[in-house]
Structure 1
């Protein structure tokens, strides 16, 4: 299946930190550009300008997020265009990336097959760092020490968007004050169980966050090729307009109350 990756000239975007809402908009814009054939398939490594909770397209805002906890900690809540679960984000503690590719990359695959296929390269990168990581259906990456990452996916405009949020480190106490679902799952077990359930890459590798990201990028480049790119001025303009019209609005946040 590696030939499916190598039919394409992949590009890398690793830009300056962006706001949470702008990241949501950039995913939509870049994926639509790839689907339209105006941009090559793209790996985008995110840098976060501030802390956030990112909820899935179909999740209930009320059920997932404690608004008082989010306000107390100054955490922005945003909704993405893909499904999946809520993600607790802190800039120095999180590694996030997204892949935007033509839908032909996963043609004929079920969602489970597509998740496994699009996670394979990062599993290889993690194993090169000494972590025996594996894919857990439908959308997790785990090791013997616990969950490492969660993925989400969407197919739109003849393209597939696949993004992954990885825990480099975690403030479990803060997470439990902000995420209701985490509190429900772990309240009877205490904060230490939250740490165990999501086991960060920092403790498993002993490496700086930047070194883990560098390893991931190098692994992708070696296997599939990767040329440097950037967000174009037109893409940024469109993304900012989407923040104003959609991703930054209360209407979008409450599309599932």
Structure 2
């Protein structure tokens, strides 16, 4: 890439603020107010995010979401639901007109995810790409099934990523878990019977794995931030420049969080209108 990129670590925020901030970064980049930007962030509470087009009413067990004190939000990007908890989350906004951004979603993901792959290598994790075509079998749980060019260790999915393009800008964000509460995860979804829920929960360990499980060590947000910052910087040749938000920009983020990402019209029912 060989050009300046903004870099911002916004730390831990609510689900609504996190999704609002990704959206305003997309808007600001489209308007020429900020350069292409890499963002790292965490979640102040366990949070379940559903994909833009996902039928939340059908998929999600909302009484259990409340029981586990989880926050709930709908993403701008597609894909299945993700439980965000003990993880580093990243987002990228960049003009799709850049000559180094491929035109297809799959090719663009492959190019941008080289930074993620290098981050895992920096942690001593032998991650690699899956070459599995996306299955025709639908699942509401993101980590149950790798898509083409997603990352695996010994065939088990290790991160979840999603992408969209709006206003001439590509937004890609993803979940890089250190650990995962599998008991909580499968409580958050609706199943025909409790027997099926338990069967899915028990089978999940054969389909997904986390950083702490692979390394037998407990990692921190700071550990991952350093490893993946270096991964993006070296593998994608980003010249990362610190980006700080003004008070007025934070006000815009919080206003969008309040008026969109905390509202049932968006979070619960949006898929009915698309």
Deviation, 1:189, is: 3.4
Question: Aligned in 2, Cα 1:190/1:153: closer, same or farther, shift over 3 Å?
Answer: closer
Deviations 1:7-52 (A, max 9, x none): x311211123111101111011011111221101111101211111
> For 1:47-58, what aligned pairs fall within 5 Å after superposition?
47-58=42-53
Deviation, 1:171, is: 0.9
Say whether the 8 Å CA contact 2:96–2:103 is kept in structure 1: no
Say whether the 8 Å CA contact 1:10–1:226 is kept in structure 2: yes
| Secondary structure, counterpart of 1:98 in structure 2 | strand
> For 1:159-238, what aligned pairs fall within 5 Å after superposition?
159-180=169-190, 187=197, 189=199, 191-205=201-215, 206-209=217-220, 210-222=222-234, 223-238=237-252
Say whether the 8 Å CA contact 2:20–2:256 is kept in structure 1: yes
Distance in 2 separating the partners of 1:228 and 1:207: 28
Aligned positions, number: 249
Distance in 2 separating the partners of 1:188 and 1:88: 18
Q: Give the gaps of 5 or more residues in structure 2.
A: 131-146
TM-score for both structures, normalised by structure 2 = 0.83
After alignment, is 52-61 or 122-131 more displaced? 122-131
TM-score for both structures, normalised by structure 1 = 0.89
> For 1:34-113, what aligned pairs fall within 5 Å after superposition?
34-90=29-85, 93-105=86-98, 107-113=101-107
Question: Normalized per residue, which structure has more helix?
Answer: 1
Distance in 1 separating the partners of 2:71 and 2:218: 28
Distance in 1 separating the partners of 2:233 and 2:110: 19
Dislocated runs of 4+, deviation >6 Å: none
> Which residue in 2 is equivalent to 1:242?
256
Deviation, 1:68, is: 1.0
Give the root-mean-square deviation of aligned CA atoms.
2.2
